[in-house]
Amino acid sequence: MLNESNDWAYNIAYNAILQSMRALMYAQGYRVSSKNSHIATLKFAEIYFTQDEIIFFDRMLRKRHQAVYDVAGTISQKEAEKAITRADKTIKKVEEMIFREKP
């Protein structure tokens, strides 16, 4: 997707992070309601992620919202690449947390 659209590559990376955090929530027995679900998921993630990670995720949420709902074409290739790298790291971290906790 990176060759087609930085905005969509960023959006996909953001959604990968969001869904991995939700998987962690579900693994812990929690469910997120549909109202303010992105914010609720981010608040839950504060238990498991560093403050720097949470700040990065929060900025991604805001930047993604802007790119999807306000002005297309605002995501640079460097931002998209960084988001993809962060998504990969986040997914791996969540997998380790989920599967480490299971017997």
Q: What's the pLDDT band for 102 if we cut at 50, 70, 90?
A: low
Report the topology of domain 6-101: Four Helix Bundle (Hemerythrin (Met), subunit A) (1.20.120)
Domain-wise residue ranges, the chain: 6-101
Q: How far is CA 16 from the centre of its chain?
A: 6
Tokens of 78: 């460097």
The CA angle 70-5-62, to the nearest 5 degrees, is: 35
pLDDT exceeds 90 at position 66: no
Tokens of 65: 């919202």
Percentage of residues in the chain with pLDDT exceeding 70?
Answer: 97
Please tell me which of 1-5, 6-10, 29-33, 89-93 the model is most confident about, judged by mean pLDDT: 89-93
